Amino acid sequence: MLRRRASAGAALVLALALLVGACGQGEEEVPPRGSAAERHGERAVAALTRAEDVRARLVAASDLYGLRAVGDARGHLAAARATYAPLSPAVGARDRRLGVEISRAFSLVDARMRRSASPARVEEPINLLTGQLLDGALELVLASAARADPGVRAEALRRTSSTLTRRFSKGVGSGGGRGTARAHQHAYGLLARSQILARGLSGALGPERDPVVFALGSIRLEAYPLGLSPRPPTGAVVGDPPRVTPPPPPASRVAALTGAVRAALERRFALGG
């Protein structure tokens, strides 16, 4: 029974991934081609990529707190705050109130985690950070032309997928310990943000939409079928003897899939570099 449910769940994950790619397919955009950093400056591309890494850490923190892995959740929250820190001076210089609100939101999440608040109470300020507050920060540090250019988001996706490759490889390595576990968790957050970036690029991806969506959906299906919850034992059925928990896919498999994402982006946007 559990085996059938796992198979059905896996099929549902992949179907949803493909549906995400199909959403908003209206009239196809014709994206600019060439280096986004040359059009808008490296600082703009780096700022968006950094913001996505902050969000990836917050995704991991939220999901882990929901699983009551409080130590790991707080570790990713601290990493998110440290990753955001280089953006903070520019945000504060342009909008002091927003800078203060972002700092307070990070502190509020940590305080609620330390007090063992309910997952919903922790998720509330995390959602505020991930959405409205970081969106506001990016409006301040990115020119409107850069925000409107799908090539900037495509380059951010390319870089995020490269970081995902490295972090997943570390997460399935033989080192063990908290660093290995947190790399695997970080890769999960990076995957979640990669899928969101791909969804936002849906109209601009054109014929490369399906290769990108399929590759990212395959990573989700194979590496994180239950998110950050423990992977179920192979063929687990009530009354069966204990079975071995299946390992995640090898790093080479995830590297091949993220490589397919980057190849599709290069074909569509000629990002260079």
Query: To which H or E segment does residue 5 belong?
Result: helix 2-22
Residue 57: which of 99, 106, 20, 103 has the closest Cα? 106
- What pTM did the predictor assign? 0.85
What contacts 179, CB < 8 A, 6 or more positions away? 170
pLDDT for residue 29 is more than 80: no
- pLDDT tens digits for 183-233? 999 999 999 999 999 999 999 999 999 999 999 999 999 999 999 987 666
Identify which has the larger pLDDT, 140 or 29. Answer: 140
CA distance 111 to 133: 18
Question: Number of C-alpha atoms within 13 angstroms, CB side, residue 14?
Answer: 13
Question: What pLDDT is attached to residue 234?
Answer: 57
**CA dihedral over 133, 62, 77, 109, signed as positive or negative:** positive
List of long-range contacts for 4-7, beta carbons under 8 Å, 24+ apart: 6/225, 6/232
With cut-offs at 50, 70 and 90, classify the pLDDT of residue 31.
confident
CA distance 23 to 157: 19
Identify which has the larger pLDDT, 245 or 47. Answer: 47
With cut-offs at 50, 70 and 90, classify the pLDDT of residue 2.
very low
Question: What pLDDT is attached to residue 232?
Answer: 63
- pLDDT tens digits for 42-97? 999 999 999 999 999 999 999 999 999 999 999 999 999 999 999 999 999 999 99
CA distance 84 to 39: 24
